[in-house]
Chain A
């Protein structure tokens, strides 16, 4: 083999080797969990009240948090995507902030805001509303850390919609709200779903802010990740089972969201980088 051929073969080998290593690295920890816990043990543990309680708390809080994120995050993202106003980039940065905060810091921030002596917390206290240590606190913590993931994607998805399409809809006699539902939303769907997938995954795995702000109590605030942490020193089998459960839920989530976005592919229709028109 000529020198050049040998070099090419070597590069090719390195290329595939590197990819192989990367894939193995990502797959191994996940695979290892399932190697350690047999399907029989897993199903067994599903009847363990620690696991079922944690599952219920996780699902309730995550679903509620995601609903809030979609309800408040979508109009926020649309506003930031479609209008240019002084201070807009500041707003976008603020929305992204929780993303770069270490979860523990987020937890402390939430305490500082909503804790008993917190900025808003003390006012809430007068009305007899106390947030820390409640299931509502878990929802708040999850919403706080997960919303930037959704909002950022949503902004990008809305910005990718051709402003001429929105203009066309208006000139055809359709008002701004109906235009949003008939044109913008369907076209931005793919990006919104992707963003929601990220937010959901982040919310499900949330730990640091939750344990700081909401504490950990079975049936009330102990989510699946918190249960893993609590069970780690008590019963390693349960820890593995909960971990396997979380993996299965996350995988199911990822697959169903991929299917949902495949169903009606949303292709970017705009060539312009900047968003929708500044009128409404």
Chain B
């Protein structure tokens, strides 16, 4: 299977987008809005032309600025699924899927279970149905690479889960180099092998989802993965640990190295809650007012002061957690990560 190679520089409105990617499996591109993620997809599809760079799918060179090669979008075998799907409103579902003219429309309608919608117009479909049509249409073309722009963001929470599972199955089945733009870490985690974090036009980190959690490169990555991000001033101690004085006043410790202005990264599921203060030198302690208690599935997210903890529903019940009460959040110094603050 051919790999997608994208290595280019593209000036955008307020900065220059510059990245180099080698995609064999599935990659998610995440980042704050305006970071250039959609522009990456457009550049690979040929909808914008980077002044410098090389984009190729295997031996098929689509862009080579040094040899003045630039293939038009219709000459590149891409399957691009737009954020709002961009279905042709004046054509039926079947006509949309058959648009690229490769004559396998019915097969794809079947595969995506939308045959019963063949004669409907896109405006009459639900979000999930439209997404399937968009996918079917892009794949009916027989692309060599798949580019998905926020495939799940236009869906309501209920549909999202089902669609995500279907998408996961589809991507592994297709086994084509895939780039997926998303702002949701959980979607990324479920769908891709590797994640590229794009901030202000540069890739800050490119790693698997578990590496991102374990070793976030910076504050953005940390908050993206759902961690708590506390701020404070760090100083090294003699025993090779770091003490951080948080802006909220508490003093916590980390086994990682840090100096100066740092972000403290702790994941909610790493935080324990107690109603009584324990003296334990191995634990970091934050005392605070219970700000909110939210049930998420069979877990409960509790916000205590500046930090969010996640415990099981039964634990929450036992502790009698309710708004307004005082609680203690504890987490190990060994699990406390430090990231530089920009």
User: What residues of chain A have their CB less than 8 Å away from a CB belonging to chain B?
Assistant: 162, 164-165, 167-175, 182-183, 186-187, 264, 266-267, 269, 277, 279
Nearest-Cβ distance from residue B177 to partner chain A, whole angstroms: 16
A183 contact set on B, CB distance < 8 A: 88
Chain B window 23-48, contacts with chain A (Cβ cutoff 8 Å), 1 for yes, 0 for no: 00000000000000000001001111
B141 within 8 Å of A (CB atoms): yes
Picked from B74, B86, B89, the residue with its CB within 8 Å of the CB of A174 is B74
Q: Is the CB of B90 within 8 A of A170?
A: no
Closest to B49 in A: A279
- The 5 listed contacts between A and B (C-beta, < 8 Å) are A167-B80, A169-B88, A170-B47, A171-B76, A172-B100
Q: Is the CB of B89 within 8 A of A269?
A: yes
Chain B window 75-86, contacts with chain A (Cβ cutoff 8 Å), 1 for yes, 0 for no: 010111010101
Q: Is the CB of B72 within 8 A of A172?
A: no
B89 contact set on A, CB distance < 8 A: 187, 267, 269
Q: Is the CB of B80 within 8 A of A171?
A: yes
Given contacts A186-B90, A187-B89, contact A277 B74 (CB under 8 A): no
B88 contact set on A, CB distance < 8 A: 165, 168-169, 183
Range, interface on chain B: 20 to 34
B101 within 8 Å of A (CB atoms): yes
B138 within 8 Å of A (CB atoms): yes
B137 within 8 Å of A (CB atoms): yes
Given contacts A187-B89, A187-B90, A267-B89, contact A169 B99 (CB under 8 A): yes
B73 within 8 Å of A (CB atoms): yes
The secondary structure that dominates the B interface is: loop
Q: Is the CB of B78 within 8 A of A171?
A: yes
CA distance A230 to B82 in the complex (A): 62
CA distance A162 to B42 in the complex (A): 16
Nearest-Cβ distance from residue A272 to partner chain B, whole angstroms: 11
Q: Is the CB of A171 within 8 A of B90?
A: no
A175 contact set on B, CB distance < 8 A: 72, 74
Closest to B123 in A: A267
Give 9 nearest A-B pairs by CB, closest first: A170-B73, A168-B86, A164-B86, A172-B100, A171-B80, A173-B74, A186-B90, A173-B100, A171-B45
B84 contact set on A, CB distance < 8 A: 164
Nearest-Cβ distance from residue B74 to partner chain A, whole angstroms: 5
A169 contact set on B, CB distance < 8 A: 88, 99
B45 contact set on A, CB distance < 8 A: 167, 171
B48 contact set on A, CB distance < 8 A: 279
Nearest-Cβ distance from residue A142 to partner chain B, whole angstroms: 32
Residues from 120 to 163 in B contacting A, C-beta threshold 8 Å:
137-138, 141
Nearest-Cβ distance from residue B270 to partner chain A, whole angstroms: 42
Q: Is the CB of B101 within 8 A of A173?
A: yes
B47 contact set on A, CB distance < 8 A: 167, 170-171, 277, 279
CA distance A164 to B73 in the complex (A): 13
CA distance A170 to B80 in the complex (A): 10
Q: Is the CB of A168 within 8 A of B82?
A: yes
CA distance A266 to B90 in the complex (A): 8
CA distance A186 to B90 in the complex (A): 7
CA distance A31 to B87 in the complex (A): 48
Closest to A164 in B: B86
Q: Is the CB of A172 within 8 A of B86?
A: no
Nearest-Cβ distance from residue A260 to partner chain B, whole angstroms: 15
CA distance A182 to B87 in the complex (A): 13
Picked from A171, A186, A266, A269, the residue with its CB within 8 Å of the CB of B73 is A171
CA distance A187 to B122 in the complex (A): 14
Closest to A271 in B: B84
Residues from 261 to 301 in B contacting A, C-beta threshold 8 Å:
none
B42 contact set on A, CB distance < 8 A: 167
